[in-house]
Chains A and B, each alone.
Chain A
Amino acid sequence: MTTRTLAVVTAGLSQPSSTRLLADRLAQATADELAAREITADVRTFELRDIAHDVVNMMLTGFPSAALKDVLDTVTGADGVIAVTPLFTTSYSGLFKSFVDVLDKDSLAGMPVLLGATGGTPRHSLALEYSLRPLFTYLRADVAGTAVFAATDDWAGEADAVNPLPGRIRRAGRELAEMVAARENSGPVDVFADAPSFAQLLGDL
């Protein structure tokens, strides 16, 4: 069996958090679908809360701490990413955006990404589509068609009898698994390997 790495980034602040719960469910659904394709998922989950200070410090100093560098390397080198944030005042949380801001803008190009969000009421569900999806489109990530929003009521199991949360999670997991299984991971960009020669630098003038 081959192995694919799934990096799970969750920006929930409380512990335990419903955002983490959704992230775990999405990761499990993806891993199950990969297993059905004879692929083992190596799931690495990161709570941004744990590296919140490091993210702000990187914004101030320009370089990541060792702990943050590990997270950045794992996320940008993964075969697929699951990104889940709570919705604060109509959009992704500031911590979530800050983490995206310290990523190199080219580092998620072509990356299969599954988006998820949590909120108090289903009336915020489209925030996934007007805030998260354009963000990852800008990064040129390959975003799964299904993005999963879980409101507080969804955890009761009867909030949406026609299209319940577990069904949406399964569908999203299947979509990400298909993208991850199909993708050839060329690894993180090596700026030194790709650096132009002096002749190229002159030629580009």
Chain B
Amino acid sequence: MQFGIFTVGDVTTDPTTGHTPDDTERVRSMLTIAQHAEEVGLDVFATGEHHNPPFVPSSPTTMLGYLAAKTERIVLSTSTTLITTNDPVKIAEDYAMLQVISDGRMDLMMGRGNTGPVYPWFGQDIRQGIPLAIENYALLRRLWDEEVVDWQGKFRTPLQGFTSTPRPLDGVPPFVWHGSIRSPEIAEQAAYYGDGFFHNNIFWPVEHTATMVAYYRRRFEHYGHGAADQAIVGLGGQVFMRARSQDAVREFRPYFDVAPVYGHGPTLEEFTEQTPLTVGSPQQVIDRYASMREHVGDYQRQMFLMDHAGLPLKTVLEQLDLLGGEVVPVLRREMEAKRPAHVPADPPSHAERVAARAAAAAPAPGSTAPVADRWTGRTAEDDAPAAARAGSAFGL
């Protein structure tokens, strides 16, 4: 099982000191945090994508490309990549580039984004969020899977003879997660493609998370990608720790009380009871998160939100020390001990996906595929008039 951190990249005033970082300071903090995540033994760093203050991470692949060079082992990911307002062509190009640069040490998570005004800034409409996610992702897949793409859809200008470069590393596109909190349509989409499903449950009761994940697992099996318990599931989390739990509560409460999203709402005690937020000793965090599998089944990736609400960089780095030093090693052991052998331990790595594709595509002796033209990717068969059929734009 993989453990990592994901950041929203919010610029928030530290309520205990009044200090507000500027954008430059916040971006550099994120870079430091990501590198420290590797140093303390975490497996994944993911950044959000936002195009409105008070958030700074507007250009995830720039940040992740830098981190790919500065780190050696940690998987770089997103939380999330906006499949609605980004051009799927640009996503295909940017993340294939990141895949090549990081030598496959990356994946990415699709999300719709929930800020209404951002959509029109990019020529879109939030009420079309689901159709945008469906169509754009279908195009993204084709841009990665097919050398030359002819495409026409509803939301983007058509493509004729388009090739997205660089081509995916070893011909195998990055692994993709789909993140959603409330929409069964997105769980359905993840299941259809056999992609991962991430439920960002940090602001939600676990019963809701269990329902969403169960639906994804059922549909994953329905589409023939494996048994329901083999579907690739990720969860969010949020913790604040000190050696003594009362110290953790005392230190975190002023940040909690005025935090973005949930501040001025439920009390810290109510919120920790209702959501995965755990404020206390490392052992309390271990106990809470070791129980998550009882609600959603054995899962492959656990992400933690550690650096929001104006927490100073020094505190965040201390939190990572506790997470990587005391919590994750124990959770890793406990989760691995309970995992049935047929359930994947981790999401598929690039090397595993390359091997899986080679195994699936091993040609029968003597068979030959039609030869594609080096530059247009067309074969002789393509020049025969193809009967138009419903869904042909999606390669169905």
User: Which chain A residues have a beta carbon within 8 Å of chain B's beta carbons?
Assistant: 56-57, 60-63, 65-66, 191-192, 195-198, 201-205
Contact = CB atoms under 8 A, between A and B. Distances in A.
11 contacts: A57-B265, A60-B266, A61-B266, A61-B271, A63-B208, A191-B184, A192-B184, A198-B189, A203-B391, A205-B135, A205-B154
A196 B264 contact: no
Contacts of A63: 203-205, 208, 274
Contacts of A61: 203, 261-262, 265-266, 271
B185 interface: yes
B135 A57 contact: no
Contact of A65 (B211, B261, B270, B396): B270
Contact of A201 (B153, B185, B262, B390): B185
B265 A60 contact: yes
Contacts of B394: 202
Contacts of A203: 390-391
Given A63-B203, A66-B205, A205-B153, 12 more contacts: A57-B266, A65-B270, A66-B274, A195-B184, A196-B188, A197-B188, A198-B192, A201-B130, A201-B134, A202-B394, A203-B390, A204-B131
Interface of B: 130-131, 134-135, 138, 153-154, 184-185, 188-189, 191-192, 203-205, 208, 211, 215, 223, 261-262, 264-266, 270-271, 274, 390-391, 394, 396
Given A61-B203, A201-B134, A205-B153, A195 B188 contact: yes
A202 B266 contact: no
Shortest 6 CB-CB contacts between residues of A and residues of B: A60-B265, A195-B184, A198-B192, A57-B266, A57-B265, A201-B134
A62 B264 CA distance: 13
A204 B390 CA distance: 12
A50 to B, nearest CB: 15
Give the one of A191, A195, A205 with max B CB within 10 A: A205
A198 B188 CA distance: 6
A56 B223 CA distance: 41
B185 A195 contact: yes
B274 A60 contact: no
A131 B205 CA distance: 34
A63 B261 CA distance: 12
Nearest to A65: B274
A76 B261 CA distance: 27
A192 B182 CA distance: 10
Contacts of A191: 184
Contacts of B130: 201
Contacts of A196: 185, 188
A96 B238 CA distance: 33
A201 B128 CA distance: 12
A62 B203 CA distance: 8
Contacts of A60: 262, 264-266
Contacts of B134: 201-202, 205
B184 to A, nearest CB: 4
A60 B256 CA distance: 13
A201 B219 CA distance: 14
A57 B268 CA distance: 12
Contacts of A62: 203-204
Given A61-B266, A63-B203, A201 B208 contact: no
